[in-house]
A and B are shown apart, each in its own frame.
Chain A
């Protein structure tokens, strides 16, 4: 049901007042997901909260946590004459060590934007003499579609379609944050759409092992306000429970069909996250049965030299250690037009959201 503007404003007012009453002591809440970060800024939610409630962005922007090594590999593939790269648009501008996919495209590399990985199958069929590599970046939400694409490619017997997987799972990164002694988080706004696929189970450890309240949260302004209220209520009552604010979409068992397809094609593997380093079992690698589609195995490259940009603090932003405006580059040498790090490029990046919606460089008092 869609609320009218009037009803939305009234509900927001009610929730804001309830939050103000509960927020007696300073709390630090992490919105894990980049889509939440964007919604929070887009809706001006931070301004509606009392000063005691601090929101900090987490590692849930897939483009941001993709390390330079992956970008450099993709760029190296784009330099091959017989190769078409298929990618989601937001990967284009992310700086690698030496270049970006956008720069390579401007200079003639065959890099095409897709809205769904399935489009890359059509590309492979239409260009049988070329290798089509899909840049598979994303969390539990996007991995099932990529997995379904691989299943279709297998069914169609395509031998020129490949996947360069940087798929990741969210829960292992949360465990890393919880285990870090220098990162304080009093409650998590958990990503509604990854939980919609995986169900509750992978997030249970947050409350059972670490006793930190967690709420699976939707993406509208009112969802987020309600989830903040639910977290504050748990904190006030001294509870730590896994609650579901996003009931209209997330079921406790998740989306079993999608989860099964993901499991059928992928298996957990160690993965490197920008800012975190290697996290065990946090990535998704193709199972041996589907290795024919694994770009890394089938199209070997010479070793790629990788370095992270000098002075960029994206990694610390992604772990919730610092705020974007604490980085000396933010808004000066790092802007959306001339980004230094991935967090300023991706539409879901914390730095991009801070910059675009004015936090840290604009104050409408």
Chain B
């Protein structure tokens, strides 16, 4: 029997019993969601996990903490604007920041393939050290395993992190309300296209550089200055479209995006057109989406424009009371259409 195919039986349609893991299960889109919901969340069931935020939030002896983990398998290991080490630190730092926390301590677990040049490992570890320094976090514990040739592809890294939740922060889907505005911190899709072009040796008229960067400095200032911010999320795997669909579903609201306001570099659009990708589904590694009451939008933008990582920030849409749980896109020509979650695989091993 075959994976992922409907087989007609007795006039009805049934899903196959012996399903296998497909690359699409790792895309961050609908398949990933179903997999996580049906297998992991149902097994580990608890209220902290059920929030399905970028990290878990809890209190220990009255101190509010955030805790998160992420694994990195990006291919190739080095790409314009970053490498697997930088990514492994930024990803976890940003996940903590999205919980409204100040990231403090990280762990680093390495799975190394027999035959990996030690010089390469040194380069990756040095990149982690430098990124941790920029982000102001300390890597305090770790683990190293080596597996035989072919069992992994060079190096995989897992990082986990712990952070202290900022006293002003209240990042929760239930605070997202109709009338609020949606702000994105800059150009979409740069990371995915940088990695893809390096992987496939595409020669582009101008090099596209990954946006991979720690956002915790920016987020800390935003949350301190604008406590009205109701929601933060970094649109990584699955891209902006997937992130907004998750928020719309969690908050029970509709979201309307304006296509003309979406920041996408022309060279990213061009590559997407060529390869059949959509920028709104491409992974970003140094971007944040912010939800805030309209009257605070200008203040948020003013702060964002002072940081290099968010210099191109802009308002891209509004929260609506129509079509709850769904995201709509108002196109350049004025039509309105659904912006659905990513279905199937778009780009494997992008982070």
Please report A residues at the B interface, Cβ cutoff 8 Å: 5, 8-9, 12-13, 16, 41-48, 89, 93, 95, 98-100, 102-103, 106-107, 115, 221-222, 225, 309-311, 329, 333-340, 347, 356-358, 362-365
Cβ contacts B333-351/A at 8 Å (1 or 0 each): 1111110100110000000
- The answer, among B5, B326, B331, B336, for a CB contact under 8 Å with A338, is B5
Flag whether B223 is at the interface (Cβ < 8 A): no
Given contacts A98-B2, A338-B6, contact A364 B332 (CB under 8 A): no
Flag whether B77 is at the interface (Cβ < 8 A): no
Q: Verify B6–A340 contact, CB threshold 8 A.
A: yes
Flag whether B45 is at the interface (Cβ < 8 A): no
Q: Verify B334–A356 contact, CB threshold 8 A.
A: no
**Beyond A93-B4, A364-B336: 10 further Cβ-contacts under 8 Å?**
A8-B332, A12-B334, A43-B333, A98-B2, A102-B22, A334-B6, A357-B337, A358-B337, A364-B322, A364-B328
How many whole Å from B258's CB to the nearest CB in chain A? 9
Chain A residue numbers with a CB within 8 Å of B13 are: 329, 333-334, 338, 340
How many whole Å from A119's CB to the nearest CB in chain B? 11
Cβ contacts B264-282/A at 8 Å (1 or 0 each): 0000000000011000000
Rounded to whole angstroms, the CA-CA distance of A222 and B333 in the bound complex is 8
Flag whether B205 is at the interface (Cβ < 8 A): no
4 A-B pairs closest in CB distance: A44-B335, A358-B338, A12-B333, A333-B13
Rounded to whole angstroms, the CA-CA distance of A43 and B254 in the bound complex is 19
Rounded to whole angstroms, the CA-CA distance of A225 and B331 in the bound complex is 14
Flag whether B20 is at the interface (Cβ < 8 A): yes
Chain B residue numbers with a CB within 8 Å of A115 are: 275
- The answer, among A46, A98, A336, A362, for a CB contact under 8 Å with B335, is A46
Flag whether B3 is at the interface (Cβ < 8 A): yes
Q: Verify A106–B331 contact, CB threshold 8 A.
A: no
Q: Verify B15–A47 contact, CB threshold 8 A.
A: no
Q: Verify A103–B333 contact, CB threshold 8 A.
A: no
Given contacts A9-B333, A12-B334, A106-B20, contact A100 B2 (CB under 8 A): yes
How many whole Å from A298's CB to the nearest CB in chain B? 28
Flag whether B31 is at the interface (Cβ < 8 A): yes
Rounded to whole angstroms, the CA-CA distance of A358 and B332 in the bound complex is 17
Q: Verify A338–B4 contact, CB threshold 8 A.
A: yes
The total of chain B residues at the interface (CB under 8 A) is: 36
Rounded to whole angstroms, the CA-CA distance of A3 and B322 in the bound complex is 31
Rounded to whole angstroms, the CA-CA distance of A114 and B98 in the bound complex is 38
Can you list 19 A-B pairs with a CB-CB distance of less than 8 A?
A9-B334, A13-B334, A43-B332, A43-B335, A45-B333, A46-B335, A48-B333, A48-B334, A100-B4, A103-B4, A106-B20, A115-B275, A221-B331, A221-B333, A310-B11, A334-B13, A337-B344, A340-B13, A356-B340
Rounded to whole angstroms, the CA-CA distance of A46 and B322 in the bound complex is 20
Given contacts A5-B260, A99-B2, A115-B275, contact A47 B332 (CB under 8 A): no
Flag whether B323 is at the interface (Cβ < 8 A): yes
Chain A residue numbers with a CB within 8 Å of B4 are: 93, 100, 102-103, 337-338
Rounded to whole angstroms, the CA-CA distance of A171 and B334 in the bound complex is 33
Flag whether B102 is at the interface (Cβ < 8 A): no
CB nearest to B274 among chain A residues: A115
Chain B residue numbers with a CB within 8 Å of A43 are: 331-333, 335, 337
Chain A residue numbers with a CB within 8 Å of B60 are: none
Q: Verify B6–A356 contact, CB threshold 8 A.
A: no
Chain B residue numbers with a CB within 8 Å of A13 are: 334
Rounded to whole angstroms, the CA-CA distance of A188 and B332 in the bound complex is 24
Flag whether B8 is at the interface (Cβ < 8 A): yes
How many whole Å from B255's CB to the nearest CB in chain A? 11
Q: Verify B343–A336 contact, CB threshold 8 A.
A: yes
CB nearest to A47 among chain B residues: B335
Q: Verify B322–A365 contact, CB threshold 8 A.
A: yes
Q: Verify A310–B8 contact, CB threshold 8 A.
A: yes
Residue of B2, B329, B340 with most partner-chain A CB within 10 A: B2
- The answer, among B22, B31, B322, B332, for a CB contact under 8 Å with A221, is B332
Chain A residue numbers with a CB within 8 Å of B2 are: 98-100, 103
Q: Verify A9–B260 contact, CB threshold 8 A.
A: yes
Chain A residue numbers with a CB within 8 Å of B20 are: 106-107
Q: Verify A362–B30 contact, CB threshold 8 A.
A: no
Chain A residue numbers with a CB within 8 Å of B275 are: 115
Chain B residue numbers with a CB within 8 Å of A347 are: 276
Cβ contacts B242-257/A at 8 Å (1 or 0 each): 0000000000001000
